[in-house]
Structure 1
Amino acid sequence: MDKLKAGIVGAAGYAGGELIRLLLHHPKVELDFVLSNSQNGMKVSKVHTDLLGETELTFSNCLKESAQVIFLAMPHGKSEKFLKQNKVADDVLIIDLSTDFRNETEGFVYGLSEVFQDKIKSSKRIANPGCFATAIQMALAPAIAKSWVQQSIHVSGITGSTGAGTIPSETTHFSRRNQNVSSYKLFEHQHLHEVKQTFTQLDSNFKEDILFVPYRGNFSRGILITAYFPFKGNLEEAKKKFIKYYKSSSFVHISDDLIDLKQVVNTNKCLLHLEVKSGQLIITSIIDNLLKGAAGQAVQNMNLHLGWEQALGLQLKATAY
């Protein structure tokens, strides 16, 4: 059987590199082209050096019409401009990893895999969620859907440096980030808009504040968030609801034990841990920001849309140590 031809636009960055790694080993996909204006003509393995011996692909600067699915892995604000400048046929599946279409404009649907499967299956235009947004929504979606949240939600989260992209800045370069932790964008992180958009779709009466404090971590990849809100039920009740909500998910699992980032780094998993203390339901959520928070979820959305097993090409090994 012929393999699906896929292309990646913006393939030189962290998320683009992860997409290359995943698609090279996807059993039903042939990586047809990798586009990068900055690396045009350069061998992929010269930029993503771990791929030496795995591919002879070179970066190009032109779109191939043969592609049946195109992943857009460009910086925020670039995808909309790219699609205006480059005509893509209506029957080509487009999955965008930027913020450009997450408000569901231009025919795009929001691609939170575990929540909006029906929309993902029926649309040729999918806007992949943000990394922090994914971790927060996985933690809280079952509670929002049950209308358990009647007061402000408190959320804190820490992310690895790869979440900021490949171009160094004052807050991302090694000397600043190493042996250091700092907060930023308190209560106004850009991902909160898409989180609230989802929550109002799950519960039309949801109007509560999400008081989110994000932190920059001194590690490369992974996100850990903790969310809590007043809860009148017990832990057993909460766990049952969460397990039922995610029963068809290939990647979301509820842990009875405390969780840590190395359990999910280099995988497409999201692990959740629940506790009830002092009248609060406390949920910890962990993901790999480059996989479940970006490239892995994009491939999962492709699998969903095409009617393939969600885990196809995503059976990855955790770092563990």
Structure 2
Amino acid sequence: MLVTSRSFSSGDLDLAGELEAAGCRIVTGPSTHELDVLRPLLADATAWIAGTGPVSAAHLDAAPGLHLVARYGVGVDAVDLEAAAARGVLVTNTPGANTGAVADHALALVLAALRDVAPGDRGVRAGRWAVQRTRELGTLTVGIVGLGRIGRAVAARLGGFGSTLLGFDPWVPPAELQRLGIEGVELDALAGRSDVISLHAPGEEVVVDEHLLGLVRPHLVLVNTARAALVDEPALAGALRAGRLRCYASDVLGSESGDHANPLLADDLLDRTLFTPHSAAQTVQAVDGMGRGAVDAVLAHLRGDQPPHLVPLPGGRR
């Protein structure tokens, strides 16, 4: 059993113990999935509880005995589903396990950015007690891009503050958005009307580009707890410097290896950016939920049962 999730079995549940009791031998590898490191581990793997790194055709070729990839989380964008289907490898995920954790984190970033929490802390520690007047969340219009589980959970939390909610999701009918208390609008309209935008879209397509940044309000707070690829980072860095928006608060970066060459980590943007280390899903409850889902899939497969939360593979194969 190959495990490449950083947080697997680190919550309240002894999930590693459950696997060992079922006869599994656990080996661990990096969540970034460097093939040279994983190759000798994949050679003997029957199942793989996979972290956030890529699961490519080359990875699967290195694992001739692999039957199951249990994604530790929701997204399967990094998994080559075509290659898995061609090799008869099942793929599962853990939908809903980290919804509450990520929604909470998005709201934390919104409030921290609006109320200048990090710059205020740095100022006090340096002996500066200057006050920056900020705005209350309940008076603002918040645009949510992507109304899946997490986007809806963010909307529910914002409803308690009394914010006006806008939403863009081409897959959700307007009547459904209305039922959720969200005004459905096109993306350009959302950009032009929002004081805060929170990104929860799936996929790797850029959403925040030069065009969209030209439409936003200069006091906009942009929050990203989804994917770094949703944002054109060089364009965003330029827009922040030009004062075209107030702050970017994100749990994801294009490079998460401490590479300070990322344009958003420039020193002159320190007071206009706020980052956390891809930690939105790192609560005890979410870690247990994701681990429980992955282990249940593995144990079901070992019993000869169909694992829960199978991801449809190309060609309708499962």
TM-score bracket relative to the smaller structure = 0.3 to 0.5
- Structure with the higher strand share, 1 or 2: 1
Q: TM-score, normalised by structure 2?
A: 0.32
Structure 1 or 2: more helix by fraction: 2
Report the structure number with the largest CA radius of gyration: 2
